[in-house]
Chains A and B, each alone.
Chain A
Amino acid sequence: NAGVTQTPKFQVLKTGQSMTLQCAQDMNHEYMSWYRQDPGMGLRLIHYSVGAGITDQGEVPNGYNVSRSTTEDFPLRLLSAAPSQTSVYFCASSYSGGIREKLFFGSGTQLSVL
């Protein structure tokens, strides 16, 4: 079972460049989300989606865009990368209905912005 797949695993960008972090899940989960993990900061929610065509902001949404055109995919776009966006990014999904605490995480994308 693939679960939650994130690509790429590593990426180096220059300030001002744009890129898209890909996330795909094969579990037919309605809920998907993006977190960033910074040293000493834990995991912080960037954006989330409760279904195709529905997205909302999390705790730290500035500088990031998302869209959800299919149930399976939830890409995260950096429009103009900044050094403050250097972080490890995790995509997560969970089952529809009930309590959504049991998130399934991808293995992460380590992003460096120079």
Chain B
Amino acid sequence: DQQVKQNSPSLSVQEGRISILNCDYTNSMFDYFLWYKKYPAEGPTFLISISSIKDKNEDGRFTVFLNKSAKHLSLHIVPSQPGDSAVYFCAALRLNSGGSNYKLTFGKGTLLTVNP
């Protein structure tokens, strides 16, 4: 049972335009949602996160939107740059009673290609 779903395996956009990467989840108990970025032959790197009590978090060109009623989040990259070309993983975690958690659940990833 896949709890975090990224239904688009790939996305291609033009440089300077907006990239929108989507993620759906099934577990309403998730407390945090995260995006990781991965270049070939490298490990994933943390990009941005959002708490389940918020609906938007922004960091420079990157904004994550959360729609809890739809169990949907999206990552917006504006403007897109060729260096943004990578695989983007959506992930979620549920806090335990102690306020920390060690198990991230990842989606399958979306390959973003930004064309010059």
Give the B-binding residues of A (Cβ under 8 A). Answer: 4, 31, 33, 35, 40-45, 48, 50, 56, 58-59, 90, 92, 97-108
Contacts and interface: CB of A to CB of B under 8 A. Distances in A.
Q: Is the interface of B mostly helix, strand, loop or mixed?
A: loop
B43 A105 contact: yes
Interface residues of B, number: 25
A41 B108 contact: yes
B53 to A, nearest CB: 13
A45 B104 contact: yes
B102 A101 contact: no
Given A92-B43, A108-B42, A44 B103 contact: no
Contacts of B44: 43, 90, 103, 105
28 contacts: A31-B102, A35-B106, A40-B108, A42-B106, A42-B108, A43-B44, A43-B91, A43-B106, A44-B106, A50-B102, A58-B103, A90-B43, A90-B44, A92-B43, A97-B100, A98-B100, A99-B95, A99-B100, A100-B100, A101-B93, A102-B49, A103-B36, A104-B46, A106-B43, A107-B41, A107-B42, A108-B41, A108-B43
